[in-house]
Amino acid sequence: MIRLVRAEWTKLFTTRVWIAMLLGACAMVGGFAALLTGFAGNPESGIPAVGTPLFEQLALAQSTNATVLTLILGVIGMTQEYRHRTATPTFLTAPRRGHVVVAKVIAYALAAVPFAVVVVAVNLLVVTVYAGARGAAPELNGDNLEVMLTSGLSLAIYAIIGVGIGALLRNQVGAIVGALVYLFVIEQVIRSIPATSGAYKWMPGGGLEAMTATFQGPELLGAWQGGLLLLGYGLVAAVLGTFLAVRRDIV
């Protein structure tokens, strides 16, 4: 299993997808953090003022926006085997295909950890410098550290979900488009309709919000429950994908 995990890392780091995703995540998170800090305390924006605990937690949770990129990274990690037909040599080397899926889950979860550290660090840097310039850099107190930790963890968990979705759908474009449409359209609709918003807390977006949200929103689970829920979604998708899709004939 260690061999297969290392093989997945070799695959990941011998193309440039990870660099693009990391740079994209840093730019995205840095940008959101800067925007948020810039409009902090502006009465029209509704963003709390710099120096308040609410602002600091909100600003430091911007890393979670990059979950969409670690999700895509995981999807690509799994579906590239089918897109570029490397599934053939991969499954010739490791004929027990479930082992390959497990190795990918482990490899992407662990690779997402340094990825998350960099993204969270960029987030902290931008907020510290900009908010510091506007009067009050955030302190590294318990609440702020917890937000940073859960934000970073959410990045790793979304990479696992990506691998799971990829295993289930096998088609790269379909899996990415499907995941984005789900996250940005379907869940937003469910969240906003009163009749279905009760179910939202059990959905991936609800789990993510539970982990890191500081705004007032719909009813949510606790942070750790949300994290476990997300992890469960990723693992269920990976297991279902293994049995329903990955074990199919490679023709």
Partner 1 sequence: MDASRLRGQEFAIRTGSTAAVEPVRVDVSGLTKSFGQVHAVTDLSFSVEPGSVTGFLGPNGAGKTTTLRALLGLIHPDAGTASFNGAPYRALPAPIRTVGAVLETAFHPARSGRNHLRVYCRAAGLPLARADEVLVQVGLGEAGRRRAGGYSLGMRQRLALATALLGDPSVLVLDEPANGLDPEGIQWLRGFIRHLAHDEGRTVLVSSHLLSEVEQTVDRVVIVGAGRLVREGTMAELRSGADGAGTVLVRSPEAARLAAALREDGTQIRSEDGDALTVTGRTPAEVGSRAFAAGIELHELRAESSDLEEIYFKLTAGQEQFAAPSPGSPTQETAR
- Site residues (vs partner 1, CB under 8 A): 3-4, 6-7, 10-11, 14-17, 80, 84-86, 88-96, 249-251
Among residues 16 and 189, whose Cβ is nearest to partner 1?
A: 16
Q: Decide: 148 and 118 in contact? Cβ < 8 Å.
A: no
Among residues 40 and 176, whose Cβ is nearest to partner 1?
A: 176
Among residues 103 and 116, whose Cβ is nearest to partner 1?
A: 103
List C-alpha distances in Å: 72 to 65, 76, 142, 166, 167.
13, 6, 31, 9, 13
Which residue from 4, 123, 1, 125 is spatially nearest to 64, judged by alpha carbons?
123
Measured distance CA(93)–CA(185) in Å, rounded? 40
Query: In the complex, what is the shortest distance from the CB of residue 166 to partner 1, in angstroms, rounded to a whole number?
Result: 15
**By CB neighbour count within 10 A (0-12 exposed, 13-18 middle, 19+ buried), where does 92 fall?**
exposed
Among residues 80 and 128, whose Cβ is nearest to partner 1?
A: 80
Residue with tokens 């605990």, as numbered in its chain: 53
Among residues 84 and 186, whose Cβ is nearest to partner 1?
A: 84
Query: In the complex, what is the shortest distance from the CB of residue 37 to partner 1, in angstroms, rounded to a whole number?
Result: 37
Query: In the complex, what is the shortest distance from the CB of residue 240 to partner 1, in angstroms, rounded to a whole number?
Result: 19
Query: In the complex, what is the shortest distance from the CB of residue 249 to partner 1, in angstroms, rounded to a whole number?
Result: 4
Among residues 12 and 211, whose Cβ is nearest to partner 1?
A: 12
Q: How far is C-alpha 189 from the chain's CA centre?
A: 20
Which residue from 120, 176, 118 is spatially nearest to 149, judged by alpha carbons?
120
Tokens encoding 75: 């999807």
Query: In the complex, what is the shortest distance from the CB of residue 233 to partner 1, in angstroms, rounded to a whole number?
Result: 28
Query: In the complex, what is the shortest distance from the CB of residue 99 to partner 1, in angstroms, rounded to a whole number?
Result: 10
How many CB atoms are closer than 10 A to CB 12? 18
Among residues 3 and 42, whose Cβ is nearest to partner 1?
A: 3
Query: In the complex, what is the shortest distance from the CB of residue 16 to partner 1, in angstroms, rounded to a whole number?
Result: 7
Q: Decide: 82 and 170 in contact? Cβ < 8 Å.
A: yes
Q: Decide: 77 and 226 in contact? Cβ < 8 Å.
A: no
